[in-house]
Amino acid sequence: MNDDVTIATAQQLIEFLGTFAFAISGIRHAAAKHFDWFGGYVCGIAVAIGGGTIRDVMLGATPFWMTNPIYIICTALALCMVILCSKRMERLQNAWFVFDTLGLALFTIAGIQKSLDYGQPFWVAIIMGCITGSAGGVIRDILLNNEPVILRKEIYAMASVAGGFVYWGLSELDVAIQLTALLSFVITCAIRFLAVRYHVSLPQLKTDDEINRVDNG
């Protein structure tokens, strides 16, 4: 019973922190496009709840934000923070990238935990974690008329998948849920940060003409 309460509490905390982190990321992207306050809020809420909503619909659950208004309020707080601290945040290099990475890692864990709660096998839970972590960013990029991050050669969704496998491996070893979530979070963030820092990326697809040019020297 205590374990169930602990897991439920941890899941709610993770979803709240992930919502805040993703909301700030979305609002910062909107600010870069010179959206107004309402546009920034729409972009923030889209990235904050988009992935979790898709996950819940696929699991046959009521979308998480419809059961508790705290997520809507959380996005409003994120908007206020960006508005009030905009000058300070401008001085932070790649602040949006940091918040986006934190949101990716936190929502990956939330997606895995909720999928397991609904009796899904681990391979489905890992996919749901990836959807929860990255789908909101796709919605954000579409709203901003940007190329979605997960379609570029950057390590983004793959960091989420790697964090999911870490979560699975530690669970198989019966590691405590708190430590499992923490290590999965750290690994996801570390992969994303290091990939960007050292310009690590997946190979790009090439057309036949490009392949022929390479082969012909």
Give per-residue pLDDT as tens, 91-121.
655 666 787 888 899 889 999 999 999 999 9
* Residue 89 covered by a domain: yes
* Residue 208 covered by a domain: no
Rg (CA), the chain: 18
Count of structural domains, the chain = 1
Residues of the chain where predicted confidence (pLDDT) is lower than 70: 1-8, 11, 88-96, 153, 208-217
Do 20 and 42 meet the contact criterion of CB atoms below 8 Å apart? no
* Residue 213 covered by a domain: no
- DSSP-derived letter for residue 210 is H
* Residue 172 covered by a domain: yes
* Residue 214 covered by a domain: no
- DSSP-derived letter for residue 150 is G
3-state secondary structure of 154: strand
pTM for the model stands at: 0.85
Do 82 and 76 meet the contact criterion of CB atoms below 8 Å apart? no
* Residue 210 covered by a domain: no
Range of the domain at 193: 2-203
Percent of the chain scoring above 70 in pLDDT:
86
* Residue 211 covered by a domain: no
pLDDT at 153: 64
